[in-house]
Structure formats: structure tokens, C-alpha cells
Amino acid sequence: MRPFLPFFVLIVLAFLVATPVAGQTDSYRAFRTKFSGEEDAHFFGVSGFIVRSVLAMTGEDEAREAARGIHRVRLAVVPRDAFREQQVTVRGFRQVLQQEAFDELMSFSDNGDAVTVYSNTPRRRDDQCYMMLVEAEDEVVLIEISGQVNEQYFKNLVKLHYQSSTL
């Protein structure tokens, strides 16, 4: 039994090291690579456990349940000036998303920011990924969510937001 333990530990370590690299979509990787040297461009990532923990601490049990299948979330915040300097457009990035088989799931406006949510059609359920593109006046935010989410919960949340903002 003892020889099995080092082998098992080696397999687990290899999985943990390889998972973050394999988990990024080509679209997110291209976005990050394009803007990684730009001033005021910021990139963050958190595990699904952290997302669920934060939602649990805020008492958002329904949201936590809707996000139960999230593996990780990556966030990129890039100033609009960086797009001009790199001579690229958000429209061009949308084409990159389409090439990677992302389809528009929903779009809405939130406090003047244009928000578009995309989802892919994965070969395997574990490869499910969502991209949220937020176009603000001064910056563009890209959020990559890998894993399963309750899409209907989030669609209903957007509906409730619209209903409360029109009252």
C-alpha cells in the first residue's frame, strides 16, 4: 500500500498544476495576452469555492445555490485607452468569441454600461464556460466563469432588475 501513496500524491499535484492552465478559454487567454503589459490593466482569478463562500457570508443562499457548479472565475479590467493603443476593438473581440463557439445568452444595460453574456457549447459538461463582457465608458471588463451555473436564476435576476428600475 505504501508505494501507492507517492504515486497518488504525484497524480494529484499534476492535476492541480495543469488545471489552471487548461481551464482558461482561448478567448480569455487572447484577451489577457493582448493587454497584459498595459498600464492600469488588471487581471484576477478566484476559485468557485471562494465565490460560494462570499455568497454564503452575504446571506445570498439562492445565489450561492445557483453558482454551486462554478469551478473558477477570472476577471480582466482594461482601460478603453489600451484598446486604442493596441488598435483593437470590442467588436473584434466579439468575433474571437464567435470563433470559439460562444453564443450570446443575454444582453442588458446596467447604469449605462452595456453587458453581454455569452455561453459556449462544450463537448463535455465540465468544459462549460460563460463570458460576461461589460462595456463601460472608461473601461472594458471581461469575466470568464467556468463550470455550471443556473442560467434561469440569472435571467430572472436581470428581469427583476429591469422591473425595479422602471418603477
Q: Is there a domain that residue 15 lies in? A: no
Give the residue numbers spanning the domain of 118. Answer: 25-166
CB contact set of 143 (below 8 Å; sequence gap of 6+): 73, 74, 75, 76, 131, 132, 133, 134
Q: Is there a domain that residue 47 lies in? A: yes
pTM recorded for the entire structure: 0.78
pLDDT in tens, 119-156: 987 776 667 899 999 999 999 999 999 988 887 877 77
Cell 482561448 locates to 26
Residue 22 has pLDDT above 80, yes or no: no
Q: Is there a domain that residue 90 lies in? A: yes
Q: Is there a domain that residue 159 lies in? A: yes
Q: Is there a domain that residue 4 lies in? A: no
| Count of domains forming the chain | 1
Count of Cβ atoms closer than 10 Å to residue 93 Cβ: 19
Q: Is there a domain that residue 19 lies in? A: no
pLDDT in tens, 66-90: 888 889 999 999 999 999 999 999 9
Q: Is there a domain that residue 16 lies in? A: no
Q: Is there a domain that residue 6 lies in? A: no
